[in-house]
Every structure is written in structure tokens, then in C-alpha cells.
Amino acid sequence: MLDRQLLRFLLPGSEDEVRAQIGIYSANYRLAMVISLFTQAFRYAAEPFFFRESGSATAQQTYARVSRLFTLAASVGLLIILLFQDWLKFFIGREGSTFHDGLKVLPVLLTANILLGLYYNFSVWYKLTDKTRSGAWISIGGAFITILGNVLFIPQYGYVASAWTTLVCYAIMVIVSYAWGQKHYPVPYQMGRMGMYIGSALLVVGLARTLLDGLPDQYRLMTYVGITLFFIAGWGIPERRMLTRSE
């Protein structure tokens, strides 16, 4: 939440202009909160599960599967929100609302929240090995990146800088936690496959919104529904087979 306060002090313009920019950013953050709420719910459910499974001989394999399934579910959520944003945007403002100007940061914020969820997955190592001091250092590093990125770039790029700083912050926290954790508590995370889930969702959205933008709304809506179902089946069926083989 620090970016909202930094925007207040670092955005150029009059008080009303600054307040308007913060309002646009906050409104679009609400759309991204769908993934954020999913991530928080996952965190509260997963941590007790991780501790309960820690004594199992297959605990690391279980943690890897949970992370993979989380990433797939979150990627489906990202796909749905970005494909249907032309209709979902009316939850934050009427037609022509200035709040819609901030939709450009929605993919960045959604991806950032997925990375935060992955960090919760990867952070299991320092909790199970009683190295919580390592988690504190990672959090301090994330706070430093947040402050530095916002202070350096808000004056020039406004709330767009806050969105990208959030993404970079969580990405670095994920990378550090993963690399550090593999030294102390190796878990066979399928990083390539999880990256494909997120990357393919963003790619499908980009292609669909570029190629189908000229279609009438009703045809575009039906096409987006079909794309969503195809995406779920395309990744869900192989994932189900992988889970069946591992049982």
C-alpha cells in the first residue's frame, strides 16, 4: 500500500490532479484485487497444509504440485479478467469514465499478484527450516525496491511506475526466495511449466484483443468465452493426467 502514499507526495500537478491520478490507480487496483483475494485465501489455506505435510516423505513433490496448480488457477483468472475487461470495467466507472484510462496497468498488477502468490509458495522453505530471518531480509529487500522504484520513476511516469515497481519487486522476491530455498530445502518446482501458464495467458489475451477488437460486442463476448474454455481444457487436461500419474 506504500505506493498510494508515495504517489500523493511525488506526483506532479495540483492537489486535484494528484488526487485524480491516485483515484484512477486505486480503481484499477480493485479489478486486480480478484487475483489478490485469491492469493490471500490460498495463503491462509496453504500454510497450515504445508506444515502438516512437512513430515511426509513426498512433501517436496506435494509442494511442487500445489504451486503448479496455484499458477494454473491464477493464470485462468488473469485470462478471464483481461479478456472481459471491456465489460468488467463498468464496475469501476460508467462509460467514458476517467477511471478506464488506467486499464493499461491492469495486466501488470494482475501478473504482480500472481508472483506474490508464488512467493508465498516458495517461502515455505524458511518456515520449515526455521530460517525466518531469511524471510525478513527478503521482505526488507522488497520494501527497499518499492521505495526506490516509486521515488525514482513516479515523477516521470506517474502511477504506471507504481504498477511496474510492484511487479519488479515481487519478481525479485520470487527469484531470491526460490534460489535461496533450493540450497536449504530443495523442492522440484516446475518453473518452466508455471512460466508457460502465465506467459500463454498473457499471449492469448494479447492476440485475442488485437485480432478480435473490431468484432461486434456480442460476437466478441462469445469468442472470448470459447477462448477461455479452450485455454482451461488445453492446460487442464494435461494437468489432470499429470496428477493422475503422480497418485
Q: DSSP assignment of 139-151, as one string?
A: HHHHHHHHHHHHH
Q: Does residue 217 register a pLDDT over 70?
A: yes
Per-residue model confidence (pLDDT) at position 149: 96
C-alpha cell at 131: 530460517
Q: How many CB atoms lie within 10 A of CB 194?
A: 22
- Note down the domain range covering 240: 2-246
**Residue 29 and residue 39: Cα distance in Å, rounded?**
14
**Residue 185 and residue 229: Cα distance in Å, rounded?**
37
Q: What is the pLDDT of residues 194-203, one digit of tens each?
A: 999 999 999 9
- Environment class of 95 (CB within 10 Å of its CB; exposed 0-12, middle 13-18, buried 19+): exposed
Per-residue model confidence (pLDDT) at position 246: 65
Report the number of distinct structural domains present in the chain.
1
Which has the higher per-residue pLDDT, 110 or 246? 110
- The dihedral region occupied by 77, where left means phi > 0, alpha psi between -120 and 50, and beta the remainder, is alpha
Q: What is the pLDDT of residues 30-78, one digit of tens each?
A: 888 889 899 888 888 888 888 888 888 889 999 999 999 999 999 999 9
CA 3 to chain CA centroid, nearest Å? 17
Per-residue model confidence (pLDDT) at position 247: 58
C-alpha cell at 94: 460508467
**Residue 66 and residue 50: Cα distance in Å, rounded?**
10
Whole-model pTM: value is 0.93
Q: DSSP assignment of 122-172, as one string?
A: HTHHHHHTT-HHHHHHHHHHHHHHHHHHHHHHHHHHTHHHHHHHHHHHHHH
Q: How many CB atoms lie within 10 A of CB 192?
A: 7
* pLDDT, mean over the chain: 92
Q: Do residues 184 and 125 touch, judged by C-beta distance below 8 A?
A: yes
Q: Does residue 28 register a pLDDT over 80?
A: yes
**Residue 9 and residue 88: Cα distance in Å, rounded?**
30
Q: How many CB atoms lie within 10 A of CB 24?
A: 22
